[in-house]
Structure 1
């Protein structure tokens, strides 16, 4: 029973985190400079309170599942952890660029950060497939 509660909390944290990263990516790539200031100020508060907390939940509940129930025997889990680590780094870059863009709305981030939507979406699909199919 505890396993399913932890797994549910892990999946809920995943959904909230990915949603927050998609919102960040949208604002970074699509919101024009004249209105960035107010939008980014509101988004940064949401990112700190909700998205970053969900990221902590993803790692906490995921590591509890890995250490307590699954083990590190499957190669699929190693690849999943690598992808989640890269997404965590992307979230950090998004947060940093939101902070910079709030200070200077005319600033444009590098392509890797501004093209975050497809990166997040493809990575999420791969992680879900790895977790469900466990191909290796």
Structure 2
């Protein structure tokens, strides 16, 4: 029973984290400089508490599942971990650029950060497929 509770908490944190990253990507890539300041100030508070907290939950519950229940026997898990590390790094870059863009609304982030939405979505699909299908 504990396994299913931890897995449910892991998945719930995944939803919150990915949702926060998509919101970040939308604001960074689509909101015009004229209205960025107010939007980014609110989003940064949300990102600090909710999205970053969910990221911590993803790692905590995911590592508990990996060490306690699944083990590191499948190659699918290694690829999944690599993608989650990349997404964690992207979240850090998004947070950094939100902070910079709040200070100077006319800054434009690099392409990897500005085009974060398709990166997050494709990564999400691959991670879900790996976790369900376990192809290797």
Normalised by the length of structure 1, the TM-score is 1.00
The runs of at least 4 aligned residues of structure 1 exceeding 3 Å deviation read none
| Count of matched residue positions in the alignment of Structure 1 and Structure 2 | 136
Does residue 88 of the first structure (1) align with residue 54 of the second (2)?
no
Once the two structures are TM-superposed, the CA of residue 3 in structure 1 deviates from its matched residue by 0.1
* Paired position in structure 1 for 2:18: 18
Once the two structures are TM-superposed, the CA of residue 22 in structure 1 deviates from its matched residue by 0.0
* Paired position in structure 1 for 2:7: 7
CA distance in 1, matches of 2:37, 2:115: 20
Once the two structures are TM-superposed, the CA of residue 39 in structure 1 deviates from its matched residue by 0.1
CA distance in 1, matches of 2:73, 2:49: 34
Q: Tell me the alpha carbon deviations over residues 10-34 of structure 1, each in whole angstroms, 9 at most, x when there is no partner.
A: 0000000000000000000000000
CA distance in 2, matches of 1:77, 1:113: 25
Once the two structures are TM-superposed, the CA of residue 93 in structure 1 deviates from its matched residue by 0.1
* Paired position in structure 2 for 1:65: 65
Once the two structures are TM-superposed, the CA of residue 9 in structure 1 deviates from its matched residue by 0.1
CA distance in 1, matches of 2:114, 2:32: 13
Runs of 5+ unmatched residues, structure 2: none
Partner secondary structure for residue 73 of structure 1: coil
Normalised by the length of structure 2, the TM-score is 1.00
